[in-house]
Amino acid sequence: MPRRHDPERRQRIIDAAIRVVGRKGLAGLSHRSAAAEADVPLGSTTYHFKSLDELMVAALRQASEGFAKAVAAHGALDEAGGDLPAGLARVLGDWLGGDRTGVELEYELYLAALRRPALRPVAAEWADDLSERLAHRTDPVTARALVALMDGICLQVLLTGAPYDEGYAREVLGRVIPAGA
């Protein structure tokens, strides 16, 4: 039987893995559950992703694009001389106020790096990319502190169920950012 050409299969498996984690949590993700969700043979998932960690890395990389896209779309980091604390607080609000399942999924995969070393480089990419973007507006040390603070704000909102407080975020971000940045 000739092999069917299916150039989108790998992407469908990644999308399926993200949906599985969104519905069942990380514990519900397996090659089998991703294959069933993507409606592909089990062998397709193991062909494209030799291990479950490889599949999780691909899913985390794709999921972490959500915040990067929110930052890029907002332009808060590109406006030289703009109000950086207000811009960052707005970006966080837009992201947290959007598809909450996507945000939770991104953090679930991000935090999975605590127990799965294969995910750590991808989790670090998120922080490094944002720090690099912020360093254009401030110094590298402050940029990393801002990333840690924004990460903490997001985790508090997600874990406590409290509503996002943009005024609070703007205030605390402003305390970390040097005047004139």
pLDDT digits (tens, 9 = 90+) for 81-124: 678 899 999 999 988 887 777 788 888 888 888 888 988 898 88
Share of the chain above pLDDT 90, in %: 46
CATH of domain 64-176: 1.10.357.10
Q: Exposure of 39 by Cβ count < 10 A (0-12 exposed, 13-18 middle, 19+ buried)?
A: exposed
Give the global pTM.
0.80
Task: Summarize the confidence of residues 73-85 as an average pLDDT.
Answer: 76
Task: Summarize the confidence of residues 20-49 as an average pLDDT.
Answer: 93
Domain positions in the chain are: 9-61, 64-176
> How far is Cα 20 from Cα 28, in angstroms, rounded to an integer?
7
Task: Summarize the confidence of residues 52-68 as an average pLDDT.
Answer: 85
pLDDT level of residue 5 (50, 70, 90 thresholds): low
Q: Using the Cα atoms of residue 26, residue 28, residue 51 and residue 18 in order, give the sign of their dihedral.
A: negative
Q: What is the mean pLDDT of the chain?
A: 87
What is the pLDDT at residue 111?
85
What is the pLDDT at residue 2?
44
- In this structure, are residues 35 and 13 in contact, taking their beta carbons and an 8 Å threshold? yes
- In this structure, are residues 45 and 35 in contact, taking their beta carbons and an 8 Å threshold? yes
pLDDT exceeds 60 at position 70: yes
Tens digit of each residue's pLDDT (9 = 90 or more) over 114-151: 888 988 898 888 888 889 988 888 899 999 999 999 99
What is the pLDDT at residue 25?
85
Non-local CB neighbours of 170 within 8 Å, separated by 6+ positions: 85, 86, 88, 89
Number of helical H runs and strand E runs in the chain: 10, 0
CATH topology of domain 9-61: Arc Repressor Mutant, subunit A (1.10.10)
What is the pLDDT at residue 143?
93
pLDDT exceeds 50 at position 1: no
